[in-house]
Structure 1
Amino acid sequence: MHSILGAINKIIGGNKLSILIYHQVLEEFDPMRPYEVTADVFNWHMKLINQHFSPISLSEAAKHIQNNTLPKRAICVTFDDGYLNNLTVAQPILTKYKIPATVYVATAFTEGADMWNDRVLDLFKDVALESLLIEDEMVALGDWANRNKLAEAQLMRLKYMPIEARLAGVQKLYDDNNLSDPEPRMMNASQVKQLAQCGVEIGGHTVNHPILKVLSREQQFEEINQCKKQLEDWTGKPVKHFAYPNGSYGKDLTDETVALVKQAGYETAVVTDWGTSSHGDDLLRLKRFTPWDTSPFKFHARLVKSRI
């Protein structure tokens, strides 16, 4: 069946580029992060890509898009945020199957503080807790489904707040419940450099992972440009690629944001709007795809369908 899907993809896919979005690759399943792949799942993802697609780096892809020379079944693998397991779990699998990748790093979280959304999820993950004080109300946590529902409500409440207000809101949840953070899950600067030395392209993802659209022009440029400078200082390599936080065009970024990314000197930028890219597309608004299927056939079929 995979050979049939491969033949269909080769015929109808045309010169199109698929870009996959990942965040974490977990050693084992996390009930508060059911959408994150485990090492076992990521392994067969990469094996399938190695066998049935043409994995290329984002830098190669940009040149091919400009020159209209994309290979058949071209695909890129990308990761957002800068999790340590990108280095410790994902990178060995990428190397095993000779898959190039790009990791977009939000630089503020390299200093020991986790992403704000992970801090929220971890509050609801602690099975020793039966309830939490949330917005001055004691709330029963219940089973995993209810914990996920409660956590999602907090994430949506906090997501579009200004950065300082959002972080203060998360910290209030911890303070109100007399809780402390678990061990950090993000790479530090030296680990980012180590990943770059493994051949993984490091891209920018802002400093604080804000919703750029809600910031002033000056604040947006500071987030975009400072991130690039920090990463180049840490890795000793040019940082050419950028991922917009949250990444939905119109909702999370505007044409002004795109212009600022270009001004900062990035060559490509990716959104989270689903689709493929091809010759003539804007390199600063490349579309991506989130894989979630739990069987190789469905995963392969969805990738093929997304290229039609």
Structure 2
Amino acid sequence: MEFLTATLAKAALGALGAVARRRLSILIYHRVHARPDSIFPHEPDARSFDQRMRFVARSFNVITLGQAVKHLAAGTLPSRALVITFDDGYADNAEVALPILRRHGLTATFFVASGFLDGGRMWNDSVIECLRITTKPALDLEAFGLGRLPLTEASDRRAAIEQLLPRIKYLTLAQREEAIVRLQAITGVAALPADLMMRTDQVRELHSSGMEIGAHTVSHPILGCLTLGEAEIEIVESKRCLEAMVDAPVDVFAYPNGKPGQDYQAEHARLVKKLGFRGAVTTARGVAQTGDDLFQLPRFTPWGNVLPVWSMRLLANQWRRDFPLAASCANRQ
């Protein structure tokens, strides 16, 4: 089935002809669980990720984002070009995803939020783990404007998490910390895991394995909620830290959360260019082609637990050209 799906996909891309040759798909991942997650069963685990990477290896020409940016700028994008990216810096990227990528001869770009390495934890994972660990059958979340929510089933916990995250996402960093302290008190969870993110040696292992390391700020703030000076510090310090870590240039960037015009603005795209990066990615859906703004490239990973559905959605994305941009910063100095 997998071989047939890959064969059909390659034929479909071939039928696209010049369109497929000019377009770049960029996949976006965060975590790859060792086993299926009961709360988030739609997130990839080792088995499903291996299946998809086998399909990608048979159907596409996989390159790093840095290579893709170079080809886009020169108009030399190879046919069936695709980039695999990971955001944030989760430990399972090195422990689960890396061996699978190696097995299929693939390379990928990993955008690391440097401030959470070596025992740190992102705020959203604090929310998730509070709701995962708590033994309470229901929670009074009136402090977050949500009222009382049941936690009997895994689906209840997922629903509570999905309601909580947008209530906290656009707060300041200090307000996020206060919200997590409040949530821990409500859930009765005193200790949260300190092994979710990569260690320094794992970032180095990715780099030594031929993977590309990109910057993703220090503390993963919403750049649009910061002053431009604060945003510059977040971006510069992340770049500096990671370059020292891998002893190599870090010249590609991913905007935290990544929605154009909402999570970052055109001024941030210009800032990223000014700071010496060669390209940057958003979370706007679509494909890239020569002439696009190299500092606002779209990304898209299809959903679906069945490979044929997943692959067809990936192919269908080749036709999308409606992704919004904050503004074009290409060719500006």
TM score, norm. by length of structure 1: 0.95
Give the aligned partner of residue 259 of structure 1: 270
- Give the counterpart of 1:134 among 117, 131, 141: 141
Give the aligned partner of residue 328 of structure 2: none
Q: Percent identity?
A: 37
Q: How many residues align?
A: 308
Superposed, which structure 2 residues align to 1:82-121 within 5 Å? 82-121=89-128
What SS does structure 2 have at the residue aligned with 1:294? Answer: coil
1:132-179 deviation per Cα after TM superposition (whole angstroms, max 9, x unaligned): 353457653221222111111111110000111112211221134442
Q: Please state which structure has a larger fraction of its residues in strand.
A: 1
Superposed, which structure 2 residues align to 1:239-258 within 5 Å? 239-258=250-269
- Give the counterpart of 2:29 among 22, 30, 34: 22
User: For the residues of structure 2 that align with 1:125 and 1:284, how far apart are their CA atoms?
Assistant: 37
User: For the residues of structure 2 that align with 1:211 and 1:288, how far apart are their CA atoms?
Assistant: 18
User: For the residues of structure 2 that align with 1:119 and 1:250, how far apart are their CA atoms?
Assistant: 27
Change (3 A) 1:232 1:65: same
- Give the counterpart of 1:171 among 181, 206, 222: 181
**Are 1:5 and 2:9 an aligned pair?**
yes
**Are 1:66 and 2:77 an aligned pair?**
no
User: For the residues of structure 2 that align with 1:290 and 1:296, how far apart are their CA atoms?
Assistant: 13
User: For the residues of structure 2 that align with 1:166 and 1:119, how far apart are their CA atoms?
Assistant: 10
User: For the residues of structure 2 that align with 1:90 and 1:291, how far apart are their CA atoms?
Assistant: 18
**Are 1:41 and 2:52 an aligned pair?**
no
Q: Letter of the 1:292 partner, please give it.
A: W
Deviation at 1:214, TM superposition (A): 1.1
Give the aligned partner of residue 153 of structure 1: 163
User: For the residues of structure 2 that align with 1:70 and 1:39, how far apart are their CA atoms?
Assistant: 30
Contact 1:32 1:121 in 2 (8 A): no
Contact 1:114 1:186 in 2 (8 A): yes
Contact 2:29 2:87 in 1 (8 A): yes
Give the aligned partner of residue 326 of structure 2: none
Flag the structure with more relative contact order, 1 or 2, with Cα contacts below 8 A and sequence separation at least 6: 1
What SS does structure 1 have at the residue aligned with 2:287? Answer: coil
Give the aligned partner of residue 297 of structure 1: 308
User: For the residues of structure 1 that align with 2:42 and 2:281, how far apart are their CA atoms?
Assistant: 20
Q: Letter of the 1:23 partner, please give it.
A: H
Contact 2:28 2:84 in 1 (8 A): yes
Deviation at 1:277, TM superposition (A): 0.7
Deviation at 1:282, TM superposition (A): 1.1
Deviation at 1:243, TM superposition (A): 0.4
User: For the residues of structure 1 that align with 2:95 and 2:229, how far apart are their CA atoms?
Assistant: 36
Which runs of no fewer than 5 residues in structure 1 stay unpaired? none
Deviation at 1:288, TM superposition (A): 0.4
Give the aligned partner of residue 329 of structure 2: none
Q: Out of 292-301 and 278-287, give the one that drifted further.
A: 292-301
Deviation at 1:25, TM superposition (A): 0.6
User: For the residues of structure 1 that align with 2:65 and 2:220, how far apart are their CA atoms?
Assistant: 21
TM score, norm. by length of structure 2: 0.88
What SS does structure 2 have at the residue aligned with 1:298? Answer: helix
Contact 2:62 2:82 in 1 (8 A): yes
Deviation at 1:127, TM superposition (A): 6.3
Give the aligned partner of residue 162 of structure 1: 172
Contact 2:27 2:301 in 1 (8 A): yes
What SS does structure 1 have at the residue aligned with 2:117? Answer: helix
Superposed, which structure 2 residues align to 1:142-291 within 5 Å? 142-179=152-189, 180-291=191-302
Deviation at 1:35, TM superposition (A): 3.4
Q: Out of 78-87 and 11-20, give the one that drifted further.
A: 11-20
Q: Letter of the 1:305 partner, please give it.
A: A
Q: Letter of the 1:153 partner, please give it.
A: Q
User: For the residues of structure 1 that align with 2:140 and 2:247, how far apart are their CA atoms?
Assistant: 45
Contact 2:149 2:160 in 1 (8 A): no
User: For the residues of structure 2 that align with 1:87 and 1:111, how far apart are their CA atoms?
Assistant: 13
User: For the residues of structure 2 that align with 1:112 and 1:171, how far apart are their CA atoms?
Assistant: 18
1:240-294 deviation per Cα after TM superposition (whole angstroms, max 9, x unaligned): 1100010010111101110111122111100000111111111111110023221
Deviation at 1:5, TM superposition (A): 2.9
What SS does structure 1 have at the residue aligned with 2:289? Answer: coil
Deviation at 1:56, TM superposition (A): 1.1
